[in-house]
Amino acid sequence: MTFETFLFVVTTLYLFQAGLFLFGLRRNRDHILDSSELFVSVIIAARNEETNLPHCLESAANQTYPTSRYEIIVVNDGSTDRTEAVCQNFIQRYPHIKLIRVQEDAYLRGKANALSQGIDAAKGEIILLTDADCTVLPTWVEQTAKRYSNEVGLIGGFTLQKATTPFEGMQSLDWVFILGMAAATAGFKHPLGSIGNNLSFRKSAYDQIGGYRKLKFSVTEDYTVVQAIVGSQKWQYCYPLDPKHLVESKPCPNLLTLLRQKHRWGKGGLDMKPAGLAIMVVGFLMHLSPFVMLYWGGVVQAATAFMIKFIADYIFLYKILKQLDRTDELRWFYWFELYFIIYVLILPFLVFFGGKVKWKGREF
């Protein structure tokens, strides 16, 4: 096989994969009940978040869902700043906010320990997770609760980044792309991803899998829980593309933090299903092969392959952002593609030779 033929095969596979993703999005059904009486526990693990926490709590405390039917539990995960004082100020204004302090656990580490203790303290039938650097829409809790029919055990969600610069915008589109793949593969009943800042599940489903204490430790604890609940085959699940269900997160402020985030996600991705690893391999080859073709003088072939990839990526992102009423995010598309190419090519080396994961002042 000539390399030109190999490039053609890889490009065709990438295009076929993009078509499957688009088809999966169409199959990703979303059913909303007229109303819900479920009690919801919002869990926010906070570690040195004195700057971000006020915005997060203000948005979470002012919801269209009745305050009598939801609580907010802030888990102070060993903060050394004013995180706890900030939370106490909010508790005085909003009685449905509660604060607990993380205790050392012999079996759990890091954020998994904080979330586990928050869930143990929760009264809700539904556990709804977000991060302290996020803000949520006023409809967020209500739109989550109204999707929990008796058969549904888990609901993923979309998170965008607050972007005003190309560096922030490319991160936002990256999250759209990753969560789009999660929603698309959920349409085929095999969700391959999730992000824990917009994730919910039934507490009974969580208890059935034994909670975090029964799961293998992972630096991507959210993905582990999703795969365990889905793998139990006892519950339905969905990943709604709904602008009323969106969460906004702060992007990584600098390149070092972004690299550490990708390192952590890449390490967690090693536990991915074979289908997920196949998607990663096709993506890696799609980004590498045109450069190799350029080295051998195939400028036209390389340019054609890249153009096909750009068009496929744009259509996929557009379909998602159109449903989220956020097509304005596409103004960062060219920056995203440059970033996408670079990080996909360096990610394997970062994962296997990057050493321990460093996140929030901890090493794993």
Q: Which residues of 17-49 are buried (b: 16+ CB within 10 A; e: fewer)?
A: bbeebbebbeebeeeeeeebebbbbbbbbbbbb
- Measured between its terminal Cα atoms, the distance across the chain in Å is 43
Q: What is the pLDDT of residue 359?
A: 66
Give the CATH H-level superfamily of domain 30-254. Spore Coat Polysaccharide Biosynthesis Protein SpsA; Chain A (3.90.550.10)
- Provide CB contacts within 8 A for 198, sequence distance 6+: 129, 130, 134, 136, 156, 157, 158, 159, 245, 246, 247
Contact 37, 68 (CB under 8 A): no
Cβ neighbours for 183, distance < 8 A, ≥ 6 positions apart: 24, 25, 28, 156, 158, 191, 239, 241, 320
How much is the pLDDT for 269?
A: 66
Query: Nearest to residue 283, comparing CAs of 205, 207, 342?
Result: 342
Residues with Cβ within 8 Å of residue 362, at least 6 apart in sequence: 109, 110
97, 87 contact by CB (below 8 A): yes
- Positive or negative torsion for Cα 145, 146, 149, 152: negative
Helices of type H across the chain: 3-27, 53-61, 83-93, 110-120, 140-145, 166-187, 203-208, 221-231, 255-268, 274-295, 299-323, 333-353
Q: 199, 188, 190, 196: which is closest to 240 by C-alpha?
A: 199
Give me the pLDDT at residue 223, please: 80
Give residue 106's pLDDT: 62
Which string of DSSP letters, residue by residue, matches 213-230?
Answer: GGSPP-S-HHHHHHHHHH
The pLDDT tens digits along the chain (364 residues) read 687 888 899 999 999 999 999 999 998 878 899 899 999 999 999 999 999 999 999 999 999 999 999 999 999 999 999 999 999 999 999 999 999 999 887 677 888 899 999 999 999 999 999 999 999 999 999 999 999 999 999 999 999 999 999 999 999 999 999 999 999 998 888 777 778 899 999 999 999 999 988 888 776 778 888 889 998 999 999 899 999 999 999 999 999 998 888 888 777 666 667 777 788 899 999 999 988 887 777 899 889 999 999 999 999 999 999 999 999 999 999 999 999 999 899 988 887 877 887 767 676 7
Annotated domain spans of the chain: 3-25+262-348, 30-254
The pLDDT value recorded for residue 1 is 65
